[in-house]
Structures are given as C-alpha cells and as structure tokens.
Amino acid sequence: MIIDVVTLFPSMFSGVVGESILKRAQEGGQVKINLVNLRDFSQDKHRKVDAPPYGGGPGMVIMAEPVFDAVEDLRKNGREESFLVLLTPGGVRFDQTLAQELSKQKGLILLCGHYEGFDERVSQGLSPLEVSIGDYVLTGGEIPAMVLLDSVTRLLPGVLGSKDSRLQESFTSGTLEYPQYTRPQEVRGLKVPEVLVSGDHGKVAEWREEKSKERTEERRPDLAAAKKKSKKQFRQL
C-alpha cells in the first residue's frame, strides 16, 4: 500500500516512520510512505499556504488551491484510487474497525491540517473522509496522521508475524487485553499469579479470559455493554 501524507511539517514524521515496525514494513515492501510538503504547491513566492479567515477571528486558515494541486499531482502519479482522509477534530471518530477498513484500500492520502484548519472548499471539492482520533484538540493533523499510519500499517498482510497477531484480536473482539508478566517470578515482593506458572494451558486461557472481561467491565463499560448487546443480537438470529 502507498500512503501519501500531505503536510506542512514533513520532518515531524521522520522518527515515527524511521523506526520499529513502520521501518520494517517499508523495508519489506508492505507499505510505502510518501511525505508531500504542502508548501511545494504554494502559488506564492514566499511559499505561503495560509491566510486569515474571511469574517475575521483568530488564527490562519490553509488555502484550498495548494491542497487541490497537491492531490491532483498525486492522482496523476498512480494514486487514482487512493482513499482520501482529512484529519480534523471535527471528523468521525477513528477506531479499530475504521483502521481495518482503511487497511483494505489500494492506497491512502492523508491531509494534515494545521492552525485553524482547511478552507471548507477542500472538503466540498475533494470529499475526503474527515477523521478525528479523539475528543481533544491537537496543534495539527500530523500526530493523528501518525496514529492512523501506525494502526493501518500493522494490519497490512505480512507486517506482523504470527507472534504479534494476538494483539490484533484485542479491540476487534471488543475486549481489553489481559495482563502480561515476564521474568523474574518475583519483583519487589510482587509475584506472578500462580496459574501462569502452573503449566496448565487450559487454566491459563480461562484466567486470561476472565481478566480480560474484568478489565473491560471496570475500565471500559461502554465496550463491555456493546459486546453484550451484539451477543444478544446474535442469539436472536
């Protein structure tokens, strides 16, 4: 999959795309991450891409024309079918289901806003899916784009080994992960639960399922309720 990121701050991405699983996925050819500097599409000799809002008010708004040009340039270069996403706190909430949907696309173009966001005509003219990573306001769409990049890339075929794939089950199954322990068996008086060193695989699985349920009910009652509801619906079929 090719993921294009249109941003005013391409260098913000270097740490995230140059390490760990995202680095491995690029080296393995499962994903190509292409950073596009929006300023390269400025029509201004000072490379400006923003202007004050019509009607007044604080901040600056990103002009529509450079964004249209950047997306047209990508479309002309093999990205005809890439799915367009605009990161904004006013978008639909990002979750694991949306990550899975996006991972099935041919390609993605991520538009990162900054300042007071984009001129509304970007949305009118390009009809991107507007996505928010949560109910809080960040300084721009770059960190949300990194969140999206990371969660989509790890779902691409061949990126995670079977070792890691358990992690994929977590939100997909609608429950939180059970607690994990590693060596040594005792740390500062804190012991690993007996069952995990018992060697009884059946009991271990039972314990994990129970802990997972307990955690979900305690920390995310909304997820636990949604799961109960879908189970009930399933039984009615």
In the complex, which residues of this chain contact ligand ADE (CB under 6 A)? Answer: 87-89, 113, 132-134, 136-138, 140-141, 144
Strand-strand pairing, 190-191 and 186-187: antiparallel
Q: Whole-number minimum distance, CB 53 to ligand ADE, in Å? A: 17
Q: Which is nearer to ligand ADE, 82 or 132 (CB)?
A: 132
Q: Which long-range contacts (CB under 8 A, 24 or more apart) does 9-15 make?
A: 9/112, 9/114, 9/140, 9/142, 10/35, 10/36, 10/37, 12/142, 12/143, 12/146, 13/142, 13/145, 13/146
Q: Whole-number minimum distance, CB 40 to ligand ADE, in Å? A: 22
Q: Which is nearer to ligand ADE, 135 or 186 (CB)?
A: 135
Residue bearing tokens 């802990």: 211
Q: Which is nearer to ligand ADE, 66 or 113 (CB)?
A: 113
Q: Whole-number minimum distance, CB 202 to ligand ADE, in Å? A: 43
Q: Whole-number minimum distance, CB 113 to ligand ADE, in Å? A: 6
Q: Whole-number minimum distance, CB 79 to ligand ADE, in Å? A: 21
Residue bearing tokens 């694991």: 96
Q: Which is nearer to ligand ADE, 108 or 224 (CB)?
A: 108
Q: Which is nearer to ligand ADE, 149 or 160 (CB)?
A: 149
Q: Which is nearer to ligand ADE, 138 or 195 (CB)?
A: 138
Q: Whole-number minimum distance, CB 41 to ligand ADE, in Å? A: 20
80's CB contacts (< 8 A; 6+ apart) are: none
